Chain A
Amino acid sequence: AQSVAQPEDQVNVAEGNPLTVKCTYSVSGNPYLFWYVQYPNRGLQFLLKYITGDNLVKGSYGFEAEFNKSQTSFHLKKPSALVSDSALYFCAVRDITSSASKIIFGSGTRLSIRP
């Protein structure tokens, strides 16, 4: 079965420092991986996705994610954190056993950036 795991419920980073939000996946076949962000009282917004090609994927708001096949990971990164990056982040994988573009979400990681 397709799944993703986000091992950290919360990540705390000082403003200006690099940040990493971890995600590991388990899929059969090639993975289609996504990161979404949820700001307070809002719906999810797409950040970036990996389908194929370069292992480093660049997305919105200066975020990037590194696909690592050997470690089955897709960690979200940003070189310099902003207070406005504080939000809930979800890793997700496309369920290729479904014809309906279903996405399976991780449990989420709350990112808190302190000034």
Chain B
Amino acid sequence: NAGVTQTPKFRVLKTGQSMTLLCAQDMNHEYMYWYRQDPGMGLRLIHYSVGEGTTAKGEVPDGYNVSRLKKQNFLLGLESAAPSQTSVYFCASSPDRDHTDTQYFGPGTRLTVL
């Protein structure tokens, strides 16, 4: 199993550009998440999905959109990037069989917006 993979690993954007981050998991997990990690702030939840075709807002959803067209993939989109979106983005998945399951994280995408 590859686990949770993320593409790309690094990206530099100019303000106003758009991009899509791809997360894929091969563990047949129902739940998937997108977080951003900023120094001194831990991880903050952007959006999440409880199953194919469903998405929901997390703690910091503004400026981001997501889609879960296939169970194994969870896409994070930035329509018009801003310097405040410079961060490291992590995707995670979880089976959530009894609400105590752990989350499995991808290696992260480092995004810089100039």
Check if A and B associate. Answer: yes
Q: Are B41 and A43 in contact (CB under 8 A)?
A: no
Given A43-B107, A43-B108, answer yes or no on A32-B42 (Cβ-Cβ < 8 Å).
no
Comparing B68-76, B79-87, B92-100, the segment that makes contact with chain A is: B92-100
Report the minimum CB–CB distance from B76 to chain A (whole Å).
15
Q: Which residues of B contact A (CB under 8 A)?
A: 4, 31, 33, 40-45, 48, 50, 56, 58, 90, 92, 94, 96, 99-108
Q: Are A43 and B50 in contact (CB under 8 A)?
A: no
Chain A interface extent, by class? 20 to 34
Q: Are B31 and A106 in contact (CB under 8 A)?
A: no
Q: Are B90 and A94 in contact (CB under 8 A)?
A: no
Comparing A14-22, A64-72, A79-87, A95-103, the segment that makes contact with chain B is: A95-103
Please count the residue pairs between chain A and chain B whose beta carbons lie under 8 angstroms apart in the complex. Answer: 59
Complex CA distance for A94 and B100, rounded to whole angstroms: 8
Report the minimum CB–CB distance from B66 to chain A (whole Å).
13
Complex CA distance for A62 and B50, rounded to whole angstroms: 33
- Contact with B40, one of A34, A36, A51, A107 (Cβ below 8 angstroms): A107
* Max count, chain B CB within 10 A of own CB: residue among A32, A96, A103, A106: A103
Complex CA distance for A105 and B31, rounded to whole angstroms: 17
Measured between beta carbons, the chain B residues less than 8 angstroms from A44 are 43, 90, 92, 103, 105
Look across to chain B and name the residue whose beta carbon is closest to the beta carbon of A46.
Answer: B102
Measured between beta carbons, the chain A residues less than 8 angstroms from B99 are 32, 94, 96, 101
